[in-house]
Structure 1
Amino acid sequence: MLKTILATACAVALSANVHAIELDKKHINYLGPIAENNLLKPYETAQQKEILANFAETLSNNAQKVTVFGQSLTWQPFDQVNELTVAGLQALKFTVSVDRFTQGTLTFNGVDNASLFINGKSHSLNKNKHEMSLPTGQHQLVLLTEQVADWKKVNVDFAGKADHDQLQLIKEITTLSAQQLFDAATITDLSLSPDSKDMIITTSYYSDKGGDKAIRTTQLRDQQHQVRYSWDNAKASGFAWSPDNQKLIYTIDGQLRILDRKTLQSSLISDKLVGASGFEFFDNNTLIFSWYKSADANTGLTKHYQGLEDRWSYARNSNHVYLLDINSGLARQISPATHSHSWQDFDKERNSILLSRSLKDYAAPPHMLTELVEINLADNTETLIGQYRTFNQAKYHDDGLYITAGPAFNNGAGLAIKEGLLPNNYDGQLYSVSFDGKQVTALSKSFDPAIGSMTALSNDDLILSVTEKDTKQLYLFDESKTRFTKLNTQLDVVDRFSVSDNKKPRLIAAGTNVSKPQRLQSLTIAKNKASTLWDSASEFYANTDIPALEEFNFTNKSGVEISGRVYLPHNLDKSKQYPALVYYYGGTSPVTRGFTGRYPFNFWAANGYVVYVVQPTGATGFGQEFSAKHVNAWGEHTADDIMQGTRAFLNAYPFVDSKKVGNLGASYGGFMTMLLATKTDMFSASIAHAGISNITSYWGQGWWGYLYSGEASKNSFPWNNPALYSQQSPVFHADKVKTPLLLIHGDADTNVPKGESHNMYTALKLLNQDVELIEYKGADHQIITREQRFHWWNTMLAYFDAKLKDQPQWWNSLYSSK
């Protein structure tokens, strides 16, 4: 609900066939005179654009007063301005709300040498006119004037391009914006000292000025959260603390440096370790790290493939593990030269290091093999602990090793599924393994969350990062009691965390809730009660209305409860009919409850859509049996759940127009969108981003297609199960598609090659169906960069506006039919 709309808001509805109408001055703010004693106006200087853009950023906030060169200025209603001329600069500011994509001409009469800023971004004026296009939402306009002959003759007009082009003047912006979701500062790195007295926090944010380049700040803070040391706008990273708590190492601008925690003096260790990363203290004077080397460039006429891995651009690069003596600078390679290695853990008391390496072995799914070995540093001998088809991580404990891997680890040691099902090895489990690898104990068979990563404490307890239904949580594994305890971070999705390693371990975690932006939480594990150290809501989302959320679960025809949630638009009027969007993934992971992400559910709801997110059968986090149904199904159970869930959703939400429901998904979700289009006409418009149309071509051509298919199509191949590869592939049923479909793909996608969208586009074009194909140049499997991300979000909303709201203007402005 827009609480701040003025009771006497000025609504302007104009068509191209009528004259412009003046905006009500009492809803426009005026500021002046500004810097009236300046020698030169900005237009009389060489830096006019820079001066005005910098000042406009200050004026764009909601503060009632502005201080300029020691003078305090107050915004006042424009209708109270009676001056003929005013010295210095003057500013007009007003905020508008549009409930659809709006076009028209904005005219500033009686103004010379003026600069216009919309949402903080500069826009050109042509004879004091601006041809304006505003997407759905709220927008702030600031006009900086440098020369006005008579303020009594100044007014602002708007003429809409069509009858539906309307503006509504409001007091301030309250609707969630794309810029907030992408640009707002977030914590991107955390590191807590072993004694818990200091922490490293890196924050990143974006701006129009910075474009695709994040603006980063890294700070060393104490227990009171006070800054002790700062690396502003520098790429300091890779922080690690010495065991004696005296030193802190990090890399910056190609240098490896060490910071004294007491004196805060930084000194150089080396600037000659190009390609080195992952530094940790082996002891107080020795570092362990990985050293990466790129293979020589192939300048020949051909490329000789020697294995499936050669499709990867980095396949022939090498990675080895080293020790570095800090005092002398001498590095010692400790991993054998025959393979690339990653270090898993080290044990100073055993004087040994755990290494893993991947072997070319296509004999069984997932068509690769991991070896885990231990290196004795005293004599450099290597001991093979085991060879595993599923393996994620290994850590030492006093009596052996912890290993995380899928349920099929060690011939199915972790299986907890019915006979006849095949395990989904993306469903991470925890094991205890003897030093020689011969004794394996499954620790998490009755623990439904999927274990992602583990952090070991000195007492052999673990902090586990897990997927629990549609959340990302932290659990403490108590080794002495073999017990899992959820840590109460008060976050739905923990983005990152760090834990101390003292007698009373403390943990800090950054993350979000489904309807709350990122916070930094602190808790002592023994008390398991969190407090907030930092909350981005007050800083970046103040006075912003966040869409309401409702949980919506249903029971499918197999008697299994399927989770979901529904986001509701602002000012919801249940007597009206609303369009809706249904989103899903359908692969091995649930759609988490993060506040924002690549698919901004809160933002879609803020743009007038009821958004239903469904978690169909096959995802991890709901138990092994639930995830196992993903194997060899390729959308079979998933499609049923989405269709059944959508019907249940429509029955439960009668204010949703059942004729105006769109659906979308990406990657496996894009595959699901295409597959659903061959099975149902219940959706009125569909979007598939980076979707798979032909399981065979994805299996054979995607960089990791054969590896993923090793789980998703376990033991099934085109020659022994052709029905799976053809009949479950959407392109083989393209003649059944009747729903308008937008295909989106990055033209540099290596995971799901763009040909997967081209397959379906070709088929539907030949079938004379309503289909669009949009490629993002240079984009891989995800849309990452700021400019592309905003354009991509606009593309999806514009498409659904055209198909579900009968508003094609936005789409036509982005993609002309000419």
Structure 2
Amino acid sequence: MILRTAATLLVSTLAMQLHAAPLSEQQIQFLGPIPTYNSIKPNNTAHQSKIIQTLLPRLQSSSDALSVFGNDIEWQSLADINALTLPGMQALKFNFSTTRFVQGKLKISGVKKAHVFLNGALLSGNESYDLYAATGDHQIIVVTEQVNNWNDVSIDYTPSSEHDQITLHNNKKIALSAKQLFDAPTISALSISPNGRFYITTERHYSDLNGNTPVTDTLLKQQDGTTIYRLDGVTASNTAWRNDSKQLAYVQDQQLKALNLSTMTTEVIAEKLDGASGFEYFDDTTLIFSWSNSPSDSNSLVKHYQGLEDRWSYERTNTQIYLLDINSGLINALTEGKLSHHLEDHDAQRNTILVSRTLQDYKAPPHMLTELLEIDLADGKQTQLGSYRTFNKARYAKDGLYIVAGPDFAGGIGKALPDGMLANNYDGQLFWLDKTGKNPKPLSKNFNPAIGEVKVLSNDDAVLLVTDKDTKQLYLFDKSKSHFKQIDTGLDVVDKFDITHSNKADLLVAGTQASVPQQLKRISVSNNKTRLLWDSQKLAYKNSDIAKLEEFNFTNKSGVEIEGRVYLPHDLDKTKRYPALVYYYGGTSPVSRAFTGRYPFNLWAANGYVVYVLQPTGATGFGQKFSAQHVNAWGENTAQDIIDGTKAFTQTYSFVDPKRIGNLGASYGGFMTMLLATKTDMFSASIAHAGISNITSYWGQGWWGYLYSGEASKNSFPWNNPTLYSQHSPVFHADKIKTPLLLIHGDADTNVPPGESHNMYTALKILGKDVELIEYKGANHQILARDRRFQWWDTMLAYFDMHLKDQPQWWEYIYKK
């Protein structure tokens, strides 16, 4: 029992008598009375709960005082309160920590009306409240009304068992939480004006009050950071700058508008352009954009497939390129036909545009063909520059074109592989074509990072966003010297960037480090001078205890160094033994060093796990030979790297218990989890999210199965290489699995259909193995919605707690209560 006068925490167990634990008088804080503007009290209004919910975030974040209607109210110890009754509302607050999932009863005596919140979530009850809390730090806030005598107020906590202990504290540093990682503000989109005098950011965050709906704020700012305009309902990435930076175009409330930056006035250019997107200034008086038309389904009984692409719901949507005259509002089509056209780039001086279109052609992997066209707008003449099996994007330069594609582009001129090795075309390369689209030249054959985005400067140099091992970095490509130079962003992962239009360009960059949350920076390309514009650590993580990170590499059996990193739990005691989690890539991309994401390594460490992330054979960003080993392997090399890496990890980190190691992966990583379970019993529990159990059914049924297999199983099919499709499929070896396995899938997954998990679930159930299957209703390949994300994160940790910590209570609470 928490008594203000005794300053003790009374804890009971099911099989033991109540016993007291010391509690400092400062461990429960009191705030009040909270004044109202007049004599009307919140409990006398119809909106009482909303009033309290609105106040709650300030109660959560304030530490010393709270300003209410001009009155500063200080938090103080509950022990200092000596009053019978106080007007209006009061608040109590205390923090507690747990070393495992706990459950118990919270009883509040002496308060006729209380609103009790755990980490911002309202608890139901009257005097007695069920309390459930996972490993970590937590906060209880009690908003009280109708207290007759504050000397009679007390709080009891009764644990459900001897394990369900809580420890109250006033620590300044607290462990990361799931809510913090998901809800914290981020820069979700950005844009910088061509002259660099202005920039736009879209800041996004989530809250309990708004649930799954993000709160966004798009601001137009001057170079010094001063906000000069708010763009409600607009995303920074969907704005377009005129080349002179004097006008900005955007869509708002179904209206296409132009903002004059000299007068800060707007005009409506057009309305209700349903299906229009990607507006850019072609010149000062015209906008170029894409316009899509989705035909109605005229037959509700059947669907006649017209090709493999018809499995995509959007395949029959036709997209063409249009030009809009700002002065008159007249719109003119620039492309037409049954094939959709995608704008790659445009050049007003040449009066031309670059477009690509995809042809139905299954003759060779990846079973599609892309045509690159240049269209002269003066006469509509189309010139085919080339047709390619691998193609990502094209950009104009003064004297030619930049192309990003796989090593097999233009007959394989980008390959840097030993004879007989097949290239992995997800490993993006940079190429050059002359103005006519001829004389292709590889520019990055000896450049290991995989190239993604490219922005061309006025001198034909280019800024590239690349996957560089487990980081995403910016590089400057010097066209005259054919030289790549890294731009020092100070970030491990560049999330997004934009650039001004000059030889001495400035970059606007948002990104993270593995142990540092998102920052927004402005960087000079010429001298690498950096200015910090925005820092989420100061906004949301200033009191957070973030896991320590160590690099851990090992040499595999082929003599190749396999890179990795290790996240360590807080307050690590190397004399103890800790459970560990092992994570690896999905698809062929390395596991990013981003601060957070769908798989939050820092959160897992905060929950008491040592986390080992490795980059096994086949990942892009480590050179073409490394990534090419992904082709026609389906785990053959990757599995051995994970097994050997985990052994080396446990030998190096002696405080890791080798009998309590879990592993997990998603998509191709989920396939790897299933495959590993057929090859080793070194893991004590495994999770496969959206994993592939049967390569054949994935190839034939996944929306992109045949395209992905065009690289991962290049030139191999069930009829000419049945061994690959069967013997590398985990379900064909389900009888070898001994490890408890959790299968997670979205029941609306189009990438890896949920049947892939059902295959394995059926097999293991018939075999009498330890298997669980959790489906997320309406979820596709990723779990995105806030409420589902929290439940999903809880599910994974609860499963590992059950098997690696011998703590089944959390899992039972979620699925067996």
TM-score of the two chains, using structure 2 as the length reference: 0.97
Identity value in percent? 59
Q: CA deviation at 1:44?
A: 2.5
Q: Is the 8 A contact 1:13 1:164 kept in 2?
A: no
Q: Is the 8 A contact 1:212 1:786 kept in 2?
A: yes
Q: Is the 8 A contact 1:495 1:510 kept in 2?
A: yes
Provide the C-alpha distance between the structure 2 equivalents of 1:221 and 1:305, rounded to a whole number of angstroms: 50
Provide the C-alpha distance between the structure 1 equivalents of 2:298 and 2:568, rounded to a whole number of angstroms: 54
Q: CA deviation at 1:504?
A: 2.1
Q: Is the 8 A contact 1:196 1:502 kept in 2?
A: no
List per-residue Cα deviations over 1:699-753 (Å, max 9, x = no partner): 0000000000000000000000000000000000000000000000000000000
Q: Is the 8 A contact 1:569 1:607 kept in 2?
A: yes
2:658 aligned partner, one-letter code: S
Q: Is the 8 A contact 1:424 1:711 kept in 2?
A: yes
Q: CA deviation at 1:12?
A: 6.0
Give the structure 2 partner of residue 133 of structure 1: 132
Q: Is the 8 A contact 1:469 1:621 kept in 2?
A: yes
1:401 aligned partner, one-letter code: L
List per-residue Cα deviations over 1:310-355 (Å, max 9, x = no partner): 1111111100001111111111111132311001111222211111
Relative to structure 2, which stretch is displaced further, 71-80 or 791-800?
Answer: 71-80
Provide the C-alpha distance between the structure 2 equivalents of 1:54 and 1:740, rounded to a whole number of angstroms: 45
The aligned runs of 1:448-527 (5 Å cut-off) are: 448-527=448-527
Give the structure 2 partner of residue 606 of structure 1: 606
1:65 aligned partner, one-letter code: A
Q: CA deviation at 1:114?
A: 1.1
List per-residue Cα deviations over 1:484-509 (Å, max 9, x = no partner): 11111111000000100124211110
Relative to structure 2, which stretch is displaced further, 72-81 or 439-448?
Answer: 72-81
Q: Does 1:32 align with 2:32?
A: yes
Q: Is the 8 A contact 1:43 1:113 kept in 2?
A: no
Provide the C-alpha distance between the structure 1 equivalents of 2:18 and 2:47, rounded to a whole number of angstroms: 34
The aligned runs of 1:403-414 (5 Å cut-off) are: 403-414=403-414
Q: In structure 2, the residue corresponding to 1:678 is in which secondary structure?
A: helix
Provide the C-alpha distance between the structure 2 equivalents of 1:665 and 1:539, rounded to a whole number of angstroms: 31
Give the structure 2 partner of residue 549 of structure 1: 549
Give the structure 1 partner of residue 682 of structure 2: 682
1:689 aligned partner, one-letter code: H
The aligned runs of 1:52-451 (5 Å cut-off) are: 52-126=52-126, 128-172=127-171, 174-232=174-232, 238-451=238-451
List per-residue Cα deviations over 1:89-115 (Å, max 9, x = no partner): 221110110111100111111111111
Provide the C-alpha distance between the structure 2 equivalents of 1:191 and 1:740, rounded to a whole number of angstroms: 48
List per-residue Cα deviations over 1:345-375 (Å, max 9, x = no partner): 1122221111100000000000000000111
Q: In structure 1, the residue corresponding to 2:94 is in which secondary structure?
A: strand
Provide the C-alpha distance between the structure 2 equivalents of 1:90 and 1:795, rounded to a whole number of angstroms: 36
1:516 aligned partner, one-letter code: V
Q: CA deviation at 1:300?
A: 2.9
List per-residue Cα deviations over 1:525-577 (Å, max 9, x = no partner): 11023221111101100111100000000000100000000000000000000
2:583 aligned partner, one-letter code: Y
Give the structure 1 partner of residue 775 of structure 2: 775
Provide the C-alpha distance between the structure 1 equivalents of 2:407 and 2:96, rounded to a whole number of angstroms: 55
1:234–1:366 CA distance, 2 compared to 1 (3 A) = closer
* Matched residue count: 809
Q: CA deviation at 1:582?
A: 0.2
Provide the C-alpha distance between the structure 1 equivalents of 2:197 and 2:293, rounded to a whole number of angstroms: 37
Provide the C-alpha distance between the structure 1 equivalents of 2:806 and 2:561, rounded to a whole number of angstroms: 35
Q: Is the 8 A contact 1:92 1:142 kept in 2?
A: yes
Q: CA deviation at 1:237?
A: 5.3
1:159–1:237 CA distance, 2 compared to 1 (3 A) = same
Q: In structure 2, the residue corresponding to 1:67 is in which secondary structure?
A: strand
Q: Is the 8 A contact 2:35 2:88 kept in 1?
A: yes
Q: Does 1:785 align with 2:785?
A: yes
Q: In structure 2, the residue corresponding to 1:801 is in which secondary structure?
A: helix
Q: CA deviation at 1:453?
A: 1.3
Point out where structure 1 has 5 or more consecutive residues left out of the alignment. Answer: 1-7
Q: In structure 1, the residue corresponding to 2:349 is in which secondary structure?
A: coil
RMSD: 1.5
1:9–1:89 CA distance, 2 compared to 1 (3 A) = closer
Q: Is the 8 A contact 1:335 1:355 kept in 2?
A: no
1:138 aligned partner, one-letter code: D
Q: In structure 1, the residue corresponding to 2:117 is in which secondary structure?
A: strand
Q: CA deviation at 1:236?
A: 6.7
Relative to structure 2, which stretch is displaced further, 547-556 or 345-354?
Answer: 345-354
Provide the C-alpha distance between the structure 1 equivalents of 2:79 and 2:704, rounded to a whole number of angstroms: 64
Q: Is the 8 A contact 1:11 1:168 kept in 2?
A: no
Q: CA deviation at 1:125?
A: 2.3
Give the structure 2 partner of residue 15 of structure 1: 13
Relative to structure 2, which stretch is displaced further, 469-478 or 497-506?
Answer: 497-506
Provide the C-alpha distance between the structure 2 equivalents of 1:782 and 1:115, rounded to a whole number of angstroms: 35
Q: CA deviation at 1:171?
A: 0.5
Q: CA deviation at 1:25?
A: 6.6
1:547–1:808 CA distance, 2 compared to 1 (3 A) = same
Provide the C-alpha distance between the structure 2 equivalents of 1:465 and 1:746, rounded to a whole number of angstroms: 31
1:36–1:782 CA distance, 2 compared to 1 (3 A) = closer
Provide the C-alpha distance between the structure 2 equivalents of 1:97 and 1:86, rounded to a whole number of angstroms: 31
Give the structure 1 partner of residue 577 of structure 2: 577
Provide the C-alpha distance between the structure 1 equivalents of 2:548 and 2:645, rounded to a whole number of angstroms: 20
Provide the C-alpha distance between the structure 2 equivalents of 1:755 and 1:703, rounded to a whole number of angstroms: 13
Q: CA deviation at 1:34?
A: 2.0
Q: CA deviation at 1:612?
A: 0.2
Provide the C-alpha distance between the structure 1 equivalents of 2:248 and 2:430, rounded to a whole number of angstroms: 31
Give the structure 1 partner of residue 3 of structure 2: none
Q: Does 1:813 align with 2:804?
A: no
Provide the C-alpha distance between the structure 2 equivalents of 1:513 and 1:457, rounded to a whole number of angstroms: 27
Provide the C-alpha distance between the structure 2 equivalents of 1:806 and 1:12, rounded to a whole number of angstroms: 26
Relative to structure 2, which stretch is displaced further, 52-61 or 99-108?
Answer: 52-61
Provide the C-alpha distance between the structure 2 equivalents of 1:21 and 1:30, rounded to a whole number of angstroms: 25
Q: CA deviation at 1:263?
A: 1.0
1:561 aligned partner, one-letter code: E
Provide the C-alpha distance between the structure 2 equivalents of 1:475 and 1:10, rounded to a whole number of angstroms: 59
List per-residue Cα deviations over 1:736-780 (Å, max 9, x = no partner): 000000000000000000000000000000000000000000000
List per-residue Cα deviations over 1:293-315 (Å, max 9, x = no partner): 11222433111011001111111
Give the structure 1 partner of residue 591 of structure 2: 591
Provide the C-alpha distance between the structure 1 equivalents of 2:43 and 2:377, rounded to a whole number of angstroms: 70
